[in-house]
């Protein structure tokens, strides 16, 4: 599918993988709506790539709809990439064995609300808009990529909420691709392994931490770059024979229990 002149919405585009995807889409001639809750970083990126920043919390349906409407004004909306996401680490049962120390249920709901339900809300709105367009030369009206995680398959200790949210994205990939086929819209999911983004900056010595993490990758023994991830996302969007699939981009890593 040719994305030159199309408009695109990328959630989570103010940072990391989403930002790399937004840059590569813009390089290929798309007008990108940078949809994120980080206003400063989002606006700066939108300016850099000639796109437009729209403040979007993906758990707010009004904001989701406003972003999709704005994108449709900038050009034919043919691309959605859902990269907005958060993590959470907590065991299901606490160390002292009381109800109080069991997994925080609000945190579980929040992670699922952003990563899974927020992504689906974006999909149903963007796909509705895409369905109103004429197909491109390749026969597609549009294409969508959700960003899951290898945690959907090898979730680690403490990753109940995160793995459930990403597993949900993997689970909806085929049925939603089947739903959208009638409208000639494709949907795929990319499941990253360990990718070098600001999510690893919270530790005292991020560089040493990332170096050590990289040793657990099969080959190459390093973290992936956001650009390597974005390259697969762009392939899923533009290759008209890619549909209904989840692809791991992870250097062959299989996450151990901890």
Ligand X SMILES: NC(=O)c1ccc[n+]([C@@H]2O[C@H](COP(=O)([O-])OP(=O)(O)OC[C@H]3O[C@@H](n4cnc5c(N)ncnc54)[C@H](O)[C@@H]3O)[C@@H](O)[C@H]2O)c1
Nearer to ligand X, 36 or 140 (CB): 36
For 174: left if phi > 0, alpha if psi spans -120 to 50, otherwise beta; the answer is: alpha
- Three-class SS of residue 76? coil
A 10 A CB-CB count for 222 gives: 15
User: Cα angle at 205 between 200 and 209, to 5 degrees?
Assistant: 55
Structure tokens at 116: 């899974």
Q: How many angstroms separate the Cα of 117 from the Cα of each of 1, 81, 95, 225, 226?
A: 27, 14, 30, 27, 24
Nearer to ligand X, 10 or 72 (CB): 10
Total residues at the site for ligand X (CB under 6 A)? 28
**Among 3, 6, 8, 16, which residue sits at the site for ligand X (rule: CB under 6 A)?**
16
What number of helices (H) and strands (E) belong to the chain?
A: 9, 7
Determine if 240 is a binding residue for ligand X (CB under 6 A). Answer: no
Nearer to ligand X, 114 or 237 (CB): 114
**Among 3, 9, 14, 30, which residue sits at the site for ligand X (rule: CB under 6 A)?**
14
**Contact region for ligand X (CB under 6 A) — 65-73, 181-189, 190-198, 238-246?**
190-198
**Among 12, 51, 76, 168, which residue sits at the site for ligand X (rule: CB under 6 A)?**
12
Scan residues 32-91 and list those touching ligand X (CB under 6 A). 36-38, 56-59, 83-86
Nearest distance from C-beta of residue 15 to ligand X, angstroms = 3
DSSP 8-state secondary structure symbol assigned to residue 195? B
8 Å CB contact between 244 and 188: yes
Determine if 197 is a binding residue for ligand X (CB under 6 A). Answer: yes
Nearest distance from C-beta of residue 182 to ligand X, angstroms = 28
Q: How many angstroms separate the Cα of 248 from the Cα of each of 112, 170, 218, 253?
A: 20, 11, 13, 9
Nearest distance from C-beta of residue 207 to ligand X, angstroms = 15
Q: Tell me if residue 162 is catalytic.
A: yes
Nearer to ligand X, 86 or 107 (CB): 86
**Contact region for ligand X (CB under 6 A) — 95-103, 122-130, 188-196, 234-242?**
188-196
Determine if 126 is a binding residue for ligand X (CB under 6 A). Answer: no
Report how far residue 241's alpha carbon sits from residue 16's, in angstroms, rounded to the nearest whole number: 27
- Three-class SS of residue 142? strand
**Among 9, 18, 78, 121, which residue sits at the site for ligand X (rule: CB under 6 A)?**
18
Determine if 199 is a binding residue for ligand X (CB under 6 A). Answer: yes
Nearest to 172 by CA among 212, 134, 122: 122
Interaction site with ligand X (CB under 6 A): 11-12, 14-18, 36-38, 56-59, 83-86, 114, 118, 147, 149, 192, 194-195, 197-199
């Amino acid at each position: 599918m040719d994305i030159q002149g199309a408009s695109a919405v990328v959630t989570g585009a103010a940072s990391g993988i989403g930002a790399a995807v937004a840059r590569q889409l813009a390089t290929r001639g798309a007008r990108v709506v940078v949809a994120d809750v980080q206003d400063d970083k989002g606006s700066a990126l939108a300016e850099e790539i000639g796109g437009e920043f729209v403040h979007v919390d993906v758990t707010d349906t009004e904001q989701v709809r406003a972003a999709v409407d704005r994108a449709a004004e900038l050009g034919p909306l043919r691309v959605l990439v859902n990269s907005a996401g958060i993590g959470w680490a907590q065991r299901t049962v606490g160390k002292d064995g009381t109800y109080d120390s069991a997994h925080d249920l609000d945190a579980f709901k929040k992670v699922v609300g952003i990563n899974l339900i927020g992504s689906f809300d974006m999909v149903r709105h963007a796909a509705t808009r895409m369905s109103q367009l004429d197909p491109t030369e390749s026969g597609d009206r549009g294409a969508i990529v959700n960003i899951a995680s290898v945690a959907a398959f090898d979730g680690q200790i403490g990753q109940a909420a995160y793995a459930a949210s990403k597993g949900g994205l993997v689970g909806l990939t085929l049925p939603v691709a089947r739903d959208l086929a009638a409208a000639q819209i494709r949907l795929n999911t990319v499941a990253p392994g360990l990718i070098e983004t600001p999510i690893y900056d919270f530790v005292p010595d991020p560089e040493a931490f990332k170096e050590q993490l990289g040793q657990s990758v099969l080959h190459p023994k390093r973290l992936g770059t956001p650009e390597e991830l974005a390259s697969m996302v762009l392939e899923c969007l533009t290759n008209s024979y890619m549909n209904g699939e989840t692809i791991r981009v992870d250097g062959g890593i299989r996450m151990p229990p901890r």
